[in-house]
Structure 1
């Protein structure tokens, strides 16, 4: 043994061993276990992992409540795997695919973990869910207007331009569906001075107390809405005016517009004064035969716009013919109080009158449809030559020889002088009895803002008959064999 210990090689081996022991004594912590130094496994705790419901048949049911909504999850795995995964990679689900009826139910939780990581603990392992049946119901959507238009403008009714119109479908849990009070879209028109078009408005479902129901599903979700913003407007009768002359030998039988009334737009103070619209003008030179002609309806005077802007006129024309009316009585109008008037010449107080027009029109005319009027308003007592005016039905004109003038000689007398007491009383005079002043008709046709008088002025209301008449100053008309030979006429529709 002594011989082995004294051998140089043995001494070297012993020295190496002693050195290793000394190194171990100095560098190894006696408090640390050998296992913790060499292990690569660790754990991780996720205190509030969100529970995600999956598999529910959303066409039939809706999840309205779940308790709890988060779970505590403890997992274990290699340190490298734990560090590589985020909290979003740890998925906790409640599977609702097996739900076949509504109500309160308890269901188990399932988890999906990243690769290389396993579950240590999951709490809780079951949750309570409230399932409700969903229903779909059709509603008529409304449009709510917010704000006011610019000063002086008015709003029309909102128009829904969407393909399906007002009809929309609302999907809600059955219990919530019973609370629905209104489905509406809001449209802001603040300070608008023109029509709001191409506006898409979001649909909102409100309960019966006016509160929004946020979980409602609306199809479609928006509406295409238009609302007219215009000046004040109203409907007024249409009156067609005429210009030009028909071809020689032709006469109008009827002119019937496609509408009897038009809508006019104007500031309110101007609108109040408008009673008819006479801006539609038919150029008779363009009428060659019976048929339909379009005429424009432009703004006139203080009118800002007209609807419709174009009007169809159904026109019937025939060959003109003539007819003689004998012994048409002459009517005196406009006698001042205290005066009386009688016709001196012609002594009969009547005239023979030749008229021209379509045969169908002339055939319907009687003495009650024609009036010869002598206006004496403002004349002093004495003898006067008074020009006559003719009241003729529409589309009829007098036939006068070249240079012919229609007039009568009338004597006006002061009845107060003859009675001596200032009360003229009722005195009969020769010729046609005098009409009361209230039956006097103003010269020229009625019309909007001073429409011109003319051959076919159909100012409504003649004291002699229920038909419409044209007021004609026979002394100012040029002779012609054709109906409507003068430049302008007015017809009341």
Structure 2
């Protein structure tokens, strides 16, 4: 040992080791060295971690309030672990499983990332309010906003969804008691046609008109529309006829599915419209009793008609005839101060054969038929007048070959004396031909009218109410044209 210590090399090695020890003693601070050994551990503060409720039976209950909604967390762990975790990894829950409605105070549950531990949690409890939720059915409505374009009128809003207006609203029980209206809004500002919204959002309002947020509405949207139209009004339907029934057939009744239609036009034109006569029944298409549909198109100044199609219930029967004797001829239209008398036929009456369905003719009596001689505008003298017939609905005259439907009328001015001078007596006059088409006393044959079968009556009513414009041109079985007229009638 002494030899080893006295060896020069050994002395050098010992000297180096002593120098290192002296350096360490001088330069290492005893108070700081413990910190260098724990420098890998640190703390972190999450000031506002969101408190997330869990376990609530959301089909029955709703969390209507929670105080507070965030918590402060202080955690500790390795620096590497703290840096690796984001704030969303620090989870704070409140367990609501099995709770009943009411206000309760519950503890918080903290879930931290691995390697990190909780140092502090504030607060440790929260107060929650649980409410029962209920579902109730409501009829949705449409609220209209704005003003339509000038000259147009606003119709009633309508829900056209397949499921109708019924909707289901889910809310807490206390809020449900406040519901006043479930509605969708449609803006019609400056609209000149119907406004349609196929996905109008439904909103729940309370009794004071304020929106109730958080309401669940099923369905959440509806298909709604608001009518924007020209001015309109309802007017009586007056059916017109064209064509002819087969010779052996006659109408018993024609009953439309509606007696009134709605017509649309500018207000000025609308004020002048009293009837609608645009629907025409083509009698040539009627082969038997039954129903038939006819179009109701716009006519004259009418822009639209509702309904646009009308169903007619038609009854036809085999035609038969009936004779009426001594039907009186009446004179109308005599000028002021003038008198008129019938020269021929001398009796002032005519025998008349009429045709129609047996059920119709059975009710026809002499008082239902009139033969009229219109002398309006004629001067004193003798005139041959084409007579006009006034017949019940669905009845037509039967005239044989060569049979004339005319009379000789003498018009006199009592204030003028004839002086018993044959040369002063007017022995003749200007014959009056049957009225031309379009003249007074005749109805144009192309005005939607037709054969005598076009007379109209509803259900055999003797009152004469009808849906027809009756043609003045009637043909005899031998196809001779005669002139007669039935006064127009309106239901």
- Per the normalisation by structure 2, the TM-score is 0.83
SS at the partner of 2:11? helix
Within-5 A mapping of 1:5-404: 5-21=5-21, 24=24, 28=28, 32-100=32-100, 102-197=101-196, 199-404=198-403
- 8 Å contact kept, 2:254–2:457: no
2-structure distance, mates of 1:484, 1:124: 109
Q: In 2 relative to 1, CA 372–91 (structure 1 residues): closer, same or farther, beyond 3 Å?
A: same
Is the counterpart of residue 479 in structure 1 residue 468 in structure 2? no
The answer on 1:443 being equivalent to 2:441 is yes
Query: Equivalents in 2 of 1:268, 1:98: separation in Å?
Result: 68
Once the 2 structures are TM-superposed, how far is the Cα of residue 329 of structure 1 from its aligned partner?
A: 0.6
Classify 1:301/1:5 alpha carbon distance in 2 versus 1 (closer, same or farther; 3 Å). same
How well do the aligned residues superpose, as a CA RMSD in angstroms? 3.3
The Cα offsets for residues 312-367 of structure 1, whole Å up to 9 and x where unpaired, read as: 22222222222221110111111222222222222221111122222222222111
Q: Quote how far apart the aligned CAs of 1:45 are.
A: 0.9
- 1:348 aligned counterpart, secondary structure: coil
2: CA distance, partners of 1:73 / 1:131: 26
Task: Summarize deviations over 1:33-83 as a string: whole Å, max 9, x none.
Answer: 333345421111112212222222223332222222221111111111100
Is the 2:337–2:414 contact (alpha carbons within 8 Å) kept by the matching residues of 1? Answer: yes
1:109 shift after superposition: 0.7
- The CA deviation at 1:445 is 6.5
| 1:169 partner SS | strand
The answer to whether residue 475 in structure 2 is matched with residue 467 in structure 1 is no
**1:372 offset after TM fit, Å?**
0.6
- The alignment partner of 1:105 has SS state of strand
Structure 2 gap ranges (5+): 418-439
* Structure 2 counterpart SS, 1:127: strand
Answer yes or no: is the 8 Å Cα contact 2:400–2:478 preserved in 1.
Answer: no
Aligned-partner SS, 1:157: strand
Q: Is the 8 A contact 1:199 1:225 kept in 2?
A: yes
Over 3 Å counting, the alpha-carbon distance change for 1:357 and 1:216 in structure 2 is same
Offset of residue 182 of structure 1: 1.5
Aligned equivalents of 2:152, 2:480: Cα separation in 1: 45
Tell me the SS of whatever aligns to 2:464: coil
Which whole-Å deviations, capped at 9, do the CAs of 1:77-123 have from their partners, x for residues lacking one? 111110011111111111111422x3322111110111111111111
Contact 1:134 1:173 in 2 (8 A): yes
- Secondary structure of the corresponding residue to residue 158 of structure 1: strand
Give TM-score, length-normalised by structure 1: 0.83
Asked whether the equivalents of residues 459 and 468 of structure 1 are also in contact (C-alpha less than 8 Å), the reply is yes
Q: What displacement does 1:28 show?
A: 4.6
Tell me the residue number matched to 1:423: none
* Alpha-carbon distance in 1 for matches of 2:110, 2:480: 99
Q: Deviations over 1:439-464 (max 9, x none)?
A: xxx73569xxx87697445599xxxx
CA distance in 2, matches of 1:467, 1:491: 7
Which moves more between the two structures, 240-249 or 33-42? 33-42
Q: What is the CA distance between 1:218 and its match in structure 2?
A: 2.1
Shift in Å at residue 280 of structure 1? 1.8
Residues 406-450 of structure 1: per-residue CA shift (max 9 Å, x gap): 2222222334568xxxxxxxxxxxxxxxxxxxxxxx73569xxx8
The answer to which of 7-16 and 203-212 deviates more is: 7-16
